[in-house]
Structure 1
Amino acid sequence: METIVVYLENMFANLPRTSEMEHLKQELLTGMEDKYLELKREGKSENEAIGIVISEFGNIEELTAELGIEPVHMEESVPVLTEEEAYAYTTAKKSAGLWTGLGVLLCAFGVGFLIFMSTLAENYGMSAAHSSIETGTVIGLIGMFLLVAVAVGMFIHSGMKLERFSYLEEGFQLPYSLKRNLQRNQANFALTYRVALITGVSLCILAPALIFAAAYLNDSYAPYGVSSFMVMAGVGVFLFVYYGNTQGAYTTLLEEHHLTAEKKEEVRAVKAVEAVIWPLAIAIFLFTGFVMHRWDINWVVFPIAGILSGSFGNLYHIMKDRNPS
């Protein structure tokens, strides 16, 4: 039966990918399965049954001609992805997720370290006037910049690992057997991904409680709570990035690969907005913390940025529908 399914997939490879075509393919598959089982019951061998089924159902040209369906001719040749390339991509994507996640975690640690050192010097260095406060702030800044510098190196390394797979953005095809293997791998990974996602969300939701707990003990302890918040939230984001990258690899390989020009434009627009939202969110967080001393509330900028980033794709799609070009 696997041979028949693969043959049917190849028959429909160059036909429009519409719901009507999917329905037609399923009807043909049902008919071919029934015929195959009937032949097997009659005592036909595996090869004989498959050969008869394909000979009776395999003329897709006549069927599409009767229905008035034209094959899809690609303007550019779309490469067929090999098993080695597909698994190399998933490995690179997972590795890139690890480095990117660690980079985000180091950035969170850096901001948390700066807040911690500044607060520590302010609370326990009053006897030495401003010198201890300035020293604590300088140490915090040095530590933060060192961690951010290492994080930036990790981001660059992560991007370089995926550069050689940039051709996938232009579209590709998967052999049916490889597609089935990837689907099975994705199904096996689903539980791990859900657990990581739930854990990350729980950490991000519980992290602000550290700020309130520290402020409850003493108002001057609130910045320590913010430092703890950054660390816990950083761990949550690490889980999102690392396991999300692995899930994203399967999504990229198994989704529709022939992106339209409009879809490519949407992807570029979303990436451009994300490149602005997150640095702006960090700048607002640091400004409201060090200048306005609102560590107790300024953490909300990150969930707000996440909501804005996640919803922009839908907003862009809605606006394009209202103003078609």
Structure 2
Amino acid sequence: MDTIISYLNNMFATLPKSDQMLKLKQDLLASMEEKYYELKMDGKSENEAVGIVISEFGNIDELTSELGIMPEVEEEWSPMLADDEVEGFMAAKRKSGLWIGIGVALVLTGVALLIFITTSFEIGMLGGRFSEDAANMFGLIAMLLFIVPAIAMFIYSGMKLEKYKYLKSEFTLPYHLKAYVQQKQEAFASTYTLSLIMGVCLCVVSPAAIFVGSAFSEAAASLGVVVLLEIVAVAVFLFVYYGNIKDSFSILLQTGDYSKAKKEEDRVIGGVAAIIWPLATCIFLISGLVFQQWHINWIVFPITAILFGMFSGAYNIFKSKGRS
């Protein structure tokens, strides 16, 4: 009989908790209980009696349909953002973009310094005071001195945004805050466009340093790589810093790359990026430190960027076709 009671409770769990439902449940339980004991008197086993009772009285859908009763549907709850949360998130995003942009620039500067020191040894700028191994060691140490604080900046910026991780899920933005964020987004649009143009132009002209250096010597071409990396560092800072500010508006308004449809795509693409870029960096360092290919191994980064862009584009097209 306990099985029948549990089954009945589960059937009424999604129905409104009204007096009508309570009376219906009690009447149905009384009928099921009467039928159960009748079957037991006829010599039916426990399992047989329970099975027959459930089969005869277990269809609650027909009964509720006749009575015009609809099951209760739980609405998804999403937090309502307050003014201080919105302001705090936009400020945290801006500071995060600053720290990450500086961190990436430091990493590129560290790599550029490593190339500069090793190349300076090869062309005799160090005056023959150090051996090749010592020069490589000094270059590696110099690079690490730039990379270590960059890693600290990455961690710090991530911790600052940790308190706002709930914005990755669903939330509600009040109308007055939505209008406020839209106004700031429109005012920032021209600044972002200018930063994007400057960053792209810097990336386009950066290889000129290598072309000019290669016209003189192979060592000068390596020094051109140093100049290229520094120009790219400035461009990346512009992309990251101003891009983070733009993203703060898109996240709050849940538009563009932060719409519901794009969130799933970003998780997949972000997972691939977390693998491919560290792998590209390892290839760059190994080919330079072990095989001394500093003059050409820089090409691993543009190749990685092209391949990653192709993957992202193909994945987005595939997902778009799947939704259509």
TM (norm. structure 2) is 0.70
CA offset at residue 133 of structure 1? 2.0
1:158 aligns with 2:157: yes
Partner of 1:113: 113
2:221 and 2:295 in contact (8 A); partners too: yes
Change (3 A) 1:289 1:249: same
Partner of 1:98: 98
Query: 2:186 corresponds to which letter in structure 1?
Result: A
- Computing the radius of gyration from Cα coordinates, the structure with the larger value is 2
CA offset at residue 317 of structure 1? 3.5
CA offset at residue 113 of structure 1? 0.5
CA offset at residue 208 of structure 1? 1.2
CA offset at residue 297 of structure 1? 4.2
Partner of 2:248: 249
Mean Cα deviation higher: 96-105 or 290-299: 290-299
CA offset at residue 323 of structure 1? 6.6
1:207 and 1:233 in contact (8 A); partners too: yes
Identity of aligned residues (%): 43
Residue segments in structure 2 that go unaligned for 5+ positions in a row: 1-72
Query: 1:94 corresponds to which letter in structure 2?
Result: R
Distance (whole Å) between structure 2 residues aligned to residue 247 and residue 80 of structure 1: 22
Deviation track 1:64-94 (CA, whole Å, cap 9, x = no partner) reads: xxxxxxxxx7753111111211111111001
2:117 and 2:139 in contact (8 A); partners too: yes
Change (3 A) 1:258 1:100: closer
Partner of 2:316: 317
Distance (whole Å) between structure 1 residues aligned to residue 184 and residue 237 of structure 2: 22
Partner of 2:229: 230
Distance (whole Å) between structure 2 residues aligned to residue 181 and residue 127 of structure 1: 61
Distance (whole Å) between structure 2 residues aligned to residue 221 and residue 314 of structure 1: 37
TM (norm. structure 1) is 0.70
Partner of 2:34: none
Partner of 2:177: 178
Query: 2:307 corresponds to which letter in structure 1?
Result: L
Partner of 2:239: 240
Deviation track 1:174-221 (CA, whole Å, cap 9, x = no partner) reads: 112211111111111111111111111111111111111111122221
2:196 and 2:238 in contact (8 A); partners too: yes
Classify the secondary structure of the residue corresponding to 2:252.
helix
Change (3 A) 1:297 1:276: same
CA offset at residue 322 of structure 1? 6.1
1:193 and 1:244 in contact (8 A); partners too: yes
Quote the RMSD (CA, aligned, Å): 2.5
2:213 and 2:223 in contact (8 A); partners too: yes
1:186 and 1:247 in contact (8 A); partners too: yes
2:207 and 2:228 in contact (8 A); partners too: yes
Query: 1:98 corresponds to which letter in structure 2?
Result: L
Partner of 1:216: 215
Distance (whole Å) between structure 2 residues aligned to residue 275 and residue 116 of structure 1: 28
Partner of 1:24: none
Distance (whole Å) between structure 1 residues aligned to residue 220 and residue 189 of structure 2: 40
Distance (whole Å) between structure 1 residues aligned to residue 310 and residue 77 of structure 2: 34
CA offset at residue 108 of structure 1? 0.4
CA offset at residue 127 of structure 1? 7.5
Query: 2:272 corresponds to which letter in structure 1?
Result: V
Residue segments in structure 1 that go unaligned for 5+ positions in a row: 1-72
Distance (whole Å) between structure 2 residues aligned to residue 97 and residue 258 of structure 1: 21
Alignment of 1:29-178 (within 5 A): 75-124=75-124, 128=128, 131-178=130-177
Distance (whole Å) between structure 1 residues aligned to residue 286 and residue 87 of structure 2: 44
Distance (whole Å) between structure 1 residues aligned to residue 74 and residue 313 of structure 2: 28
CA offset at residue 259 of structure 1? 2.8
Mean Cα deviation higher: 117-126 or 213-222: 117-126
Alignment of 1:294-313 (within 5 A): 294-313=293-312
Query: 1:308 corresponds to which letter in structure 2?
Result: L
Classify the secondary structure of the residue corresponding to 2:140.
helix
Distance (whole Å) between structure 2 residues aligned to residue 296 and residue 209 of structure 1: 15
CA offset at residue 128 of structure 1? 4.4
Query: 1:124 corresponds to which letter in structure 2?
Result: G
Query: 1:146 corresponds to which letter in structure 2?
Result: L
Distance (whole Å) between structure 1 residues aligned to residue 196 and residue 206 of structure 2: 15
Partner of 1:259: 260
Change (3 A) 1:161 1:237: same
Distance (whole Å) between structure 1 residues aligned to residue 119 and residue 90 of structure 2: 43
Distance (whole Å) between structure 2 residues aligned to residue 232 and residue 157 of structure 1: 25
Classify the secondary structure of the residue corresponding to 2:95.
helix
